[in-house]
Structure 1
Amino acid sequence: MAREKSWQDIIPVADLMKGDATPVQFGARELAVFDTVEGVTVSMARCTHGAANLCDGYFDGKTIECPLHQGLFDARSGEALAAPARVKLRMLESRVQDGNVQIYI
């Protein structure tokens, strides 16, 4: 029987790096929590091209640049915006609730 999905706390909002990407370890998952100009979003932390941790890259509030080969992703939608990145980021459904960032898994 499959487990039902539910909202899970991953980090208090107060612990986020304001206007930046914050790395979060959630079980075996490495996540990137982005404090974007439009709100908080969450993706898998590894670049889809070279597997570098995106939290080490340059973030401008909308896009995250991979620190390894400078591939570019939209941190709000996950879309790959610049080569060599071609595969979009896996984004997780997320929200801010009761002072915590949560993901729906």
Structure 2
Amino acid sequence: MNTKNGRWVQILDVSEIDDTNMVGFEIDDRQIAIYRIEDSYFATANVCTHAFALLSDGWLDGDTVECPLHGACFNVCTGKAMSDPAEIDLEVFETRVTDNIVEIFLPEEAHRMADT
């Protein structure tokens, strides 16, 4: 569904991701990670802001994801960089569940950047 400022994108069925787990996806040439913490879903950029590594290849402990390359940690709820060597926060995406499908909101700016 498109809106004035972006669009909602269907990602996966809630049954496809276990509690306290994460899955990586590519949407419009953007790497995005979906995290399930209890019955809540969060989405961030899937690439570490310190060096290229997919966070979904790392480790999820509670609401913290650890990069598999150099061990930088991020809060998956806020995107906040929590430890060195990362100093830049992750981009976060709004999520919702509609009819058991996890969706993320892809802002128009992000969509335009993906098209360039």
Aligned-residue identity in percent:
31
Q: How many residues were matched structurally?
A: 103
The aligned amino acid for 2:74 is: F
Partner of 1:85: 86
TM-align CA RMSD: 1.5
Deviations 1:38-68 (A, max 9, x none): 7110011000001200001110121000000
Distance 1:29 1:51 in 2: 13
Partner of 2:47: 46
The DSSP-based 3-state class of the residue aligned with 2:56 is: helix
Note if contact 1:52-1:68 (Cα within 8 Å) is conserved in structure 2: yes
Distance 1:38-1:98 versus aligned 2 partners, 3 A rule: closer
Runs of 4+ in 1 over 3 A off after TM superposition: none
> Alpha-carbon deviation of 1:37?
4.1
Note if contact 1:24-1:30 (Cα within 8 Å) is conserved in structure 2: yes
Gaps of 5+ in 1: none
Partner of 2:69: 68
Partner of 1:20: 21
Note if contact 2:12-2:102 (Cα within 8 Å) is conserved in structure 1: yes
> Alpha-carbon deviation of 1:104?
1.4
The aligned amino acid for 1:78 is: G
> TM-score, length-normalised on structure 2?
0.81
The DSSP-based 3-state class of the residue aligned with 2:82 is: strand
